[in-house]
């Protein structure tokens, strides 16, 4: 839990930097007060049993863009030699903040035989916007762990080739095209 709280602190600092950016600082029609996502909210969303590791926490309409915050929890996966499965989001950039565990992340390369996510799927509407999944042999591989921050621009493949035990990370997703459903709140934390 201490790692989770430390990771949340890192995210709050990152969100503060986003709020100071020129575009974000002058969003018209956006919130007029702070929006909290507590460590308890994050833990509640992680605790929900689901086969889908990626769980959106909230999507906030900031006026000129949407801002989504999600949490991803992945269990152990064996070491993979050769192609690595993963995904690429066409319009949404992700910033990962690792709050627990470690894993080997692969980014970049070209997806062989990409499959488009269905336009009405949860992946497109709630999680990441238009996306393609598949496997790649290329890309850059590195180990990431607690406290690391990784920015994955829209259009860049990403997937894990190895997770020894688990990895949990927050994903901050600025959505300048407003493709994600603003106002979404994970059912585990709806009040």
DSSP secondary structure, the chain, as one string: -HHHHHHHHHHHHHHHHHHHSHHHHT-TTS-SS-----HHHHHHHHHS--S--EEEEEEEE-SSSEEEEEEEEEEEE----S-EEEEEESS--EEEEEEEEEEEEEE-S--EEEEEPPTTSHIIIIISSSEEEEEES-SEEEEEETT-EEEE-TT--EEEEEEEEEEEEEEEEEETT--S-TT-B-TTT--
Domain that holds residue 34: 2-175
Identify the pLDDT of residue 25.
46
Identify the pLDDT of residue 1.
52
Tell me if 188 is assigned to some domain. no
Provide the whole-model pTM.
0.84
Q: How many domains does the chain have?
A: 1
Identify the pLDDT of residue 139.
93
In tens digits, the chain (191 residues) has pLDDT values of: 555 555 555 554 445 444 434 444 444 789 999 999 999 999 999 999 788 899 999 999 999 999 999 999 999 999 988 899 999 999 999 999 999 999 999 999 999 999 999 999 999 999 999 999 999 978 999 999 999 999 999 999 999 999 999 999 999 999 999 999 999 999 999 87
Tell me if 183 is assigned to some domain. no
Identify the pLDDT of residue 22.
43
Tell me if 36 is assigned to some domain. yes
Identify the pLDDT of residue 3.
57
Tell me if 191 is assigned to some domain. no
Q: What is the CATH number of the domain that holds 111?
A: 2.60.120.10
Tell me if 111 is assigned to some domain. yes
């Amino acid at each position: 839990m201490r790692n989770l709280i430390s990771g949340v602190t890192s995210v709050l600092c990152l969100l503060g930097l986003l709020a100071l950016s020129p575009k974000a600082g002058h969003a018209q029609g956006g919130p007029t007060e702070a929006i909290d996502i507590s460590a308890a909210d994050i833990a509640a969303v992680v605790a929900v049993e689901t086969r889908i590791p990626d769980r959106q926490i909230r999507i906030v309409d900031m006026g000129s863009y949407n801002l989504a915050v999600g949490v991803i929890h992945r269990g152990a996966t064996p070491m993979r030699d050769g192609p690595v499965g993963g995904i690429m989001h066409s319009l949404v950039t992700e910033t990962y903040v690792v709050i627990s565990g470690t894993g080997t992340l692969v980014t970049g390369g070209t997806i062989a035989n990409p499959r488009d996510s269905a336009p009405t799927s949860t992946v497109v509407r709630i999680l990441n916007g238009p996306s393609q999944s598949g496997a790649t042999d290329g890309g850059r591989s590195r180990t990431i762990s607690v406290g690391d921050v990784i920015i994955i621009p829209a259009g860049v493949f990403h997937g894990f080739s190895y997770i020894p035990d688990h990895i949990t990370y927050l994903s901050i997703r600025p959505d300048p095209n407003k493709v994600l459903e603003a106002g979404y709140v994970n059912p585990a934390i709806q009040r």
